[in-house]
Amino acid sequence: MIAMEHGRAISFTRPDGQDAPGVLFSAADGAPGVVLIQEWWGINDQIRRVGQRLADAGYRVLIPDLYRGRATAVADEAKHLMTGLDFGQALSDIAGALTYLKGQDGATRVGIIGFCLGGALTLASICNVPGFAAGVCYYGIPGAGADASKLLAPLQAHFAEFDDWCTPDAVRALEDQLRAGTTEYELYRYSAQHAFFNDARPEVYDPVAAAESWRRSLDFFHRHLGGPLPAA
């Protein structure tokens, strides 16, 4: 039996009728939902812990398994998996996860949060997938196909000042797009490195930036999803 903190393996249906796998973390009946998107490593223990933290904060959480069971701790293999990922298919998985968390109640509010690759997909989702009430992006910027001036939901974004993937120049360009739009956004920068939230990577983990960004994320979800007030 899978330990509770590792979530429960489920299958859900995408808009095209295909089944997709995911990992579900339960909360109280009627709780708002959050779609959680993995880093390029796949669904590993670290991202499952994030799912459990969100569930402990009062959210039903679904992690769509974009790599279909594959995960790695090796950077070259993770890069290969990410490069081989079809973003259109990933967005279909995410749309299906959104529908699953909404269930039969159209009034249920669902947010999305993701890190690195998941951050890029979070931003792509709230530009292309109608129905999310809010999105939180950690150090991820998608390429073509996501016009940040046309957000479909409020966005909160967290970036590192010392990041050679989402560089400061790339973040400034993203913020220019966000300013050109009319949807609410918040963008924060931290004196930290890429993946500063990932406590499984001590070489980049920054506990101060991680704690501050998490507090902001939970507050944002409280305001837009109607979830519990974050603990002081």
The 10 Å Cβ neighbour count of residue 81 is 19
Task: Dump pLDDT digits (tens) for 143-180.
Answer: 777 899 999 999 999 999 999 999 999 999 999 999 99
Q: What is the spatial distance between Cα 28 and Cα 31, in angstroms, rounded to a whole number? A: 6
With bands split at pLDDT 50, 70 and 90, how would you rate the model's confidence at 232?
low
Task: Dump pLDDT digits (tens) for 32-79.
Answer: 999 999 999 999 999 999 999 999 999 999 999 999 999 999 999 999
And the tokens for 80? 């290969």
Q: Average the pLDDT over 82-90 and give the result.
A: 93
pLDDT at 143: 79
pLDDT at 60: 95
- In the chain, the domains with their CATH numbers are 4-224 (3.40.50.1820)
The answer to which of 18-22, 107-111, 130-134 has the lowest mean pLDDT is: 107-111
Q: In Å, what is the CA distance from 196 to each residue of 59, 192, 199?
A: 23, 6, 8
Does residue 231 have a pLDDT over 80?
no
With bands split at pLDDT 50, 70 and 90, how would you rate the model's confidence at 25?
very high
Q: What is the spatial distance between Cα 17 and Cα 70, in angstroms, rounded to a whole number? A: 23
Among 111, 142, 139, 150, which residue's Cα sits nearest to residue 124?
Answer: 142
What's the mean per-residue pLDDT of the chain? 93
Q: Average the pLDDT over 124-146 and give the result.
A: 93
The residues, any chain, with a CB within 8 Å of residue 84's CB and separated by 6 or more, are none
With bands split at pLDDT 50, 70 and 90, how would you rate the model's confidence at 3?
very low
pLDDT at 1: 30
Q: Could you give the percent of the chain with pLDDT greater than 90?
A: 86
